[in-house]
Structure formats: structure tokens, C-alpha cells
């Protein structure tokens, strides 16, 4: 019953030289992907609202706000950058946990690295450590955390951000342990938005990131926290999940890297919907059909919570509702008529969609998600989807997708990750800047100062909005 202490000791002793190159390479991809999410996300209306509030009420000069260039205290800069990171449901997913580690790990590590004048090697180490700890905590509580209505990244995210702080600030095991003890009091996050929508979900990355960064700074100042915050009788696992497996926190620590099981999103909506897009692409290639040919689409799952998560909203009241509506998102894809990343469910597609379009809504009403006991046609938190399409002429087309595109079993290539980054950043960054960011991330361990990367992330004005 010393799992929290073991994690703290491991983080305090972690060195980049001890981490396999394949893990480092994946971390560089995740770093690039999340920076793309931040830069595009910074331009969105709700992101500008959060940015305006903090600019009005906060001050400081230790860390930089991505895209805009404001200087703030590190926890506030991390809050905004994490909010931008998660602003449009495009950030990475560890589906087996499930959680979104990048939206916490990258902004917290970057803000604290700038604050501490750290180099690129320290930044990469902090990102890796934050991913691993955050995933392990979420995995220890999976699937009960989300089934009880908690949003896993908000619950486990403070521990990820505190981990980044422990690495960047060079904590010993005792100080790292206190950072975890403090971080646990910042855990929160409810998923009622899957029923209703609501833009508050956009700060579900900012809240834990800010809390975890503060936890690290508090621990550095000598503030203490409970050393059994994860495994204790009143600790995180029991209080938030109820049912849990503590062995997942530490088994194979340093040898088994859960970061390698992380996936990158090609589409800007809940990852549990992505299976349906891939299935539709297969069926559309098998036989071309359009909305007018459609009688019904049935997506099969063996999980009532998954049905609740993505099947509750048919007629979304806001963009977030559309991004958590399998019926509406599938309708978008059918009406767009594209495939793969250009299939109509990308970052900019959700921003431009007419939520009241009668044709889209009519198609959405023909899509349903059902719970089945047929083990051959299931979708669970970490398995694929069974999709059946019935056309008006009576034809039935069906396919099972075991792993959606972007998961480690069916990954985006390095070129596809870069393609996504350019898709996100070319509309909002000066010409040539995205390429320089790609090059800087590829060579991140050679950076003498993280500011060399941070300076590339600043634009200031909203180029896309100005163009419109």
C-alpha cells in the first residue's frame, strides 16, 4: 500500500537516457500533435473568452500563452494552453484508460520548463513522465471512473501536471510525494455534458493542469500532502472509482510504457465515435450510397455507458453536443461525402456546420446506437464497432472495425501526424512557421532553452478570423 510513494520515487530518479528511443519518438509525435491542437484551438470563440477573462484578472511574466503571446504566471499560462489544447476535441487519447494525457502533459511541462529556464531534453522527459503517471492512474480506475460520471482527464490530470513539475523542477522523492498529495485535492470533472453539451467542457483540460502546476509549486515551497493520496482509504482511487486495481499503478514501471498505447485523433470529436467513421468509409468504398439511399444505420456496442456517452444527443444544441453525438457526426460524414481525414469531421468542419440543417437532422434520426449481447459485433472502451447500414432498396451492408484509425493498432504514420499538424496550423500561423515548429520538435532534445520552441508558437492576431 505504498503505490503513491513508489511513483514519486520513480519520477524523482527518471533520466532520459533510461528511456527507450521508441518511447521518446512517440513522445515527440505527441508533443507536435498537441502543439497543433493548442495553436488552432487558441483561435476559437470560447478560447478567446477564457483568454479575455485571465488577461483581465491575472498578471505575471514567467510563462507564455500559446498563439497570443501574453506572459503570465505558469499555472495561468498552463491553464490557457491546456484549454486551447482541448478546445475542439482533437487532442490525443489513451482509449484503454480512458483519458487524454497530452492535454495535461504538454501544457504543464511547457509552462514550467519556460518558468524554470529548462532545456528541451528536460521538457521531453517531463512530457514522458507525465503521460506515464497519468495513464497508469486512469488505468487503475478503469472503467469505473468514467462509468461513475467522472471525466478521467480532470480527475487524474493534476497528478500528470504535478509529475511534469517534479521533473522540470528536479524534485527529490519526498517533494514529489508531497506534490502528488497536494494534486489530489485538485481532482474534479463531471461528464453531464454528454447529455446536454456546454462550453465549460472546454476547460476540462485547463482545470487539472492549473491545479497540478500549482501543486508542484506548492510542494517546492514546502507545503505537504497525504502520502497515500492514491491508494488510501479516503484516497483518489476509492473515492473517485470505488472499484480499482492498484497493481496497475506500478506493475512494470520503467519497463512497460503505457505511452505506447496512446492514440492520435484524426477527427475532432469523441474518440468513441471514430470507429463509425472508419466503418462508413469501408462500406462507402464497397458500395457508394448517399443520405437519400439510407434507411437506417445501427452501431452496436456491448456497453450501456458507451451508449450513454455518444448516443444520447441526436439534435445537438451546440458544437460540443455535435462532437458527442454519434448520430449527428455520422450524418455530417454522409452529407460531406469524403473519406479518411477529409471526411467532414475535422477541426474546422465542426466549426462551420449548421446545427439546424433539416437534411442533416433527418439523417441523424436514422442513426442509432444499440446495446447488444452479440460478442461478434461490439464496441467497448478499447475495442471496435460493429456497424450495419440498411438502404432503402433493402440492401444491408455491415462491417466490424476492430481498431479505429489513430489507435496504436492502426496508427497514423509520421507523415500523417505532420499532415494533421499542418491542417490545424496553416490557417492560423504565418507562412513557413509550422514547418519550423515541426523541425524544432523533431530536434527538441538539442534545444538549449525551451524558449526557442515557445517563441515559435506566438502569432498575436487571429489570422483565420481576419481572413473571414
Which of these three, 381, 401, 421, is where a domain ends?
401
Query: What span, in angstroms and rounded, lies between the C-alpha atoms of 104 and 101?
Result: 6
Is the pLDDT at 301 greater than 80, yes or no?
Answer: no
What are the tens digits of pLDDT across the range 307-342? Answer: 677 778 899 999 999 999 999 999 999 999 888 888
DSSP 182: H
Note whether 122 and 243 are same-domain residues. yes
How many whole angstroms separate alpha carbon 22 and alpha carbon 35? 20
Q: Is residue 396 located within the same domain as residue 427?
A: no
Q: Is the pLDDT of residue 131 over 60?
A: yes
DSSP code per residue over 190-202: B-THHHH--GGGG
Whether residue 13 is found in the same domain as residue 108: yes
Q: Give the Cα separation of 154 and 175 in Å (integer).
A: 23
The answer to whether 294 touches 389, Cβ cutoff 8 Å, is yes
Contact by Cβ (8 Å): 267, 277: yes
For the chain, percent of residues with pLDDT exceeding 90? 79
Same domain, 250 and 339: no
| Tens of pLDDT, residues 357-411 | 999 999 999 998 887 765 554 444 445 567 899 999 999 999 988 888 999 999 9
CA distance 310 to 304: 10
CATH number, domain containing residue 318? 3.30.1330.120
**Do residues 146 and 64 both lie within one domain?**
yes
Strand (E) or helix (H) holding 389:
strand 385-391
* Mean residue pLDDT across the chain: 92
Tell me: do 36 and 140 sit in the same domain: yes
Q: Do residue 245 and residue 322 come from a single domain?
A: no
- C-alpha 166/C-alpha 112 separation (Å) is 10
Q: Which residue has the higher pLDDT, 12 or 194?
A: 12
For residue 406, being part of any structural domain is answered with no
Which three cell numbers, joined as nine digits, stand for 240? 473517485
Q: Which of 358, 376, 401 is the last residue of a domain?
A: 401
How far is Cα 8 from Cα 62, in angstroms, rounded to an integer? 26
Res 310: pLDDT:
79
More confident residue, 214 or 311: 214
Partners of 63 in beta bridges: 72
- Tell me if 192 sits within 8 A of 148, measured CB to CB: no
Alpha-carbon separation of residue 296 from 253, 272, 336, 340, 398 (angstroms): 47, 20, 18, 22, 12
- Give the number of domains in the chain: 2
What range does the domain containing 364 cover?
271-401
Domain annotation covers residue 345:
yes
Q: State the Rg of the chain over Cα.
A: 21
196 and 280 part of one domain: no
> Cell numbers of 49, please?
473568452
All residues at 6 or more sequence positions from 359 whose CB lies less than 8 Å from its CB, including other chains? 291, 335
What is the SS3 assignment for 456?
helix
Q: How far apart are CA 171 and CA 21, in angstroms?
A: 24
Q: Tens digit of pLDDT for each residue in 43-71?
A: 999 999 999 998 887 778 889 999 999 99
User: φ and ψ at 378, to 5 degrees?
Assistant: -135, 160
Q: How far apart are CA 116 and CA 165, in angstroms?
A: 10
User: What is the spatial order of strands in the sheet that 367-371 belongs to?
Assistant: 367-371, 294-301, 385-391, 396-401
Dist CA 50 CA 393 (whole Å): 50
* Terminal Cα distance for the chain, rounded: 57
Residue 47 lies in a domain: yes
* Cβ within 8 Å of residue 141, ≥6 positions away: 152, 155, 156, 236, 237, 240, 241, 244
Q: Are residues 421 and 440 in the same domain?
A: yes
| Within a domain: 365 | yes
Q: Please report whether residue 62 resides in a domain.
A: yes
> CB–CB of 92/100 below 8 Å?
yes
**Who wins on pLDDT, 379 or 153?**
153
* Same domain assignment for residues 199 and 185: yes
Give the 3-state secondary structure of residue 30.
Answer: helix
Phi, psi of 189 (to 5 degrees): 105, 115
Strand segments (E) across 33-188: 63-64, 71-72
CATH number of the domain at 105, please: 1.10.4100.10
Q: How far apart are CA 304 and CA 296, in angstroms?
A: 21
Residue 356 contacts by C-beta under 8 Å, 6 or more apart in sequence?
Answer: none
On whether both 160 and 35 belong to a single domain, the answer is: yes
Model confidence, pTM: 0.93
Going by C-alpha positions, the residue among 218, 267, 269 that lies closest to residue 89 is 269
Same domain, 291 and 239: no
Q: Which of 367, 401, 435 is the last residue of a domain?
A: 401
Amino acid at each position: 500500500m505504498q503505490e503513491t510513494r513508489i511513483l514519486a520515487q520513480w519520477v524523482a530518479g527518471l533520466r532520459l537516457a533510461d528511456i527507450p528511443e521508441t518511447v521518446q519518438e512517440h513522445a515527440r509525435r505527441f508533443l507536435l500533435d498537441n502543439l497543433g491542437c493548442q495553436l488552432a484551438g487558441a483561435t476559437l470563440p470560447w478560447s478567446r473568452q477564457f483568454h479575455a477573462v485571465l488577461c483581465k484578472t491575472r498578471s505575471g511574466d514567467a510563462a507564455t500563452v500559446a498563439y497570443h503571446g501574453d506572459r503570465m504566471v505558469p499555472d495561468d499560462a498552463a491553464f490557457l494552453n491546456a484549454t486551447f489544447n482541448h478546445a475542439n476535441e482533437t487532442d490525443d487519447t489513451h482509449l484503454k484508460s480512458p483519458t487524454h494525457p497530452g492535454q495535461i502533459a504538454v501544457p504543464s511541462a511547457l509552462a514550467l520548463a519556460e518558468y524554470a529556464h529548462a532545456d528541451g531534453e528536460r521538457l521531453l522527459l517531463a512530457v514522458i513522465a507525465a503521460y506515464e503517471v497519468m495513464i497508469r492512474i486512469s488505468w487503475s480506475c478503469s472503467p469505473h471512473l468514467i462509468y461513475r460520471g467522472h471525466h478521467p482527464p480532470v480527475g487524474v490530470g493534476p497528478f500528470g501536471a504535478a509529475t511534469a513539475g517534479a521533473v522540470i523542477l528536479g524534485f527529490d522523492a519526498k517533494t514529489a510525494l508531497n506534490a502528488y498529495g497536494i494534486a489530489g485535492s485538485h481532482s474534479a470533472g463531471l461528464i453531464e455534458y454528454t447529455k446536454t453539451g456546454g462550453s465549460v467542457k472546454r476547460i476540462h483540460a485547463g482545470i487539472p493542469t492549473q491545479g497540478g502546476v500549482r501543486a508542484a509549486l506548492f510542494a517546492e515551497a514546502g507545503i505537504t500532502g497525504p502520502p497515500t493520496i492514491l491508494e488510501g482509504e479516503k484516497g483518489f482511487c476509492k473515492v473517485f472509482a470505488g472499484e480499482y486495481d492498484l497493481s496497475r499503478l506500478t506493475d512494470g514501471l520503467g519497463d512497460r510504457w503505457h505511452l505506447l498505447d496512446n492514440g492520435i485523433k484524426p477527427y475532432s470529436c469523441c474518440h468513441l465515435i471514430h470507429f463509425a467513421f472508419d466503418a462508413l468509409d469501408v462500406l462507402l468504398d464497397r458500395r457508394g450510397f448517399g443520405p437519400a439511399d439510407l434507411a437506417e444505420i445501427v452501431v452496436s456496442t456491448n456497453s450501456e455507458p458507451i451508449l450513454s456517452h455518444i448516443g444520447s444527443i441526436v439534435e445537438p444544441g451546440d458544437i460540443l453536443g455535435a462532437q458527442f453525438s454519434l448520430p449527428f457526426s455520422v450524418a455530417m460524414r454522409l452529407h460531406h461525402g469524403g473519406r479518411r481525414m477529409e471526411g467532414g469531421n475535422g477541426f474546422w468542419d465542426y466549426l462551420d456546420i449548421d446545427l439546424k440543417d433539416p437534411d442533416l437532422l433527418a439523417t441523424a434520426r436514422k442513426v442509432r446506437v444499440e446495446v447488444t449481447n452479440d460478442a461478434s459485433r461490439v464496441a467497448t472502451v478499447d475495442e471496435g464497432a460493429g456497424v450495419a447500414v440498411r438502404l432503402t432498396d433493402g440492401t444491408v451492408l455491415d462491417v466490424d472495425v476492430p481498431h479505429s484509425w489513430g489507435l496504436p493498432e492502426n496508427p497514423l504514420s509520421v507523415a500523417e501526424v505532420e499532415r494533421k499538424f499542418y491542417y490545424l496550423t496553416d490557417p492560423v500561423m504565418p507562412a513557413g512557421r509550422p514547418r519550423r515548429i515541426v523541425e524544432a520538435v523533431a530536434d527538441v532534445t538539442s534545444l538549449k532553452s525551451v524558449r526557442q520552441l515557445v517563441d515559435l508558437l506566438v502569432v498575436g492576431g487571429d489570422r483565420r478570423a481576419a481572413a473571414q
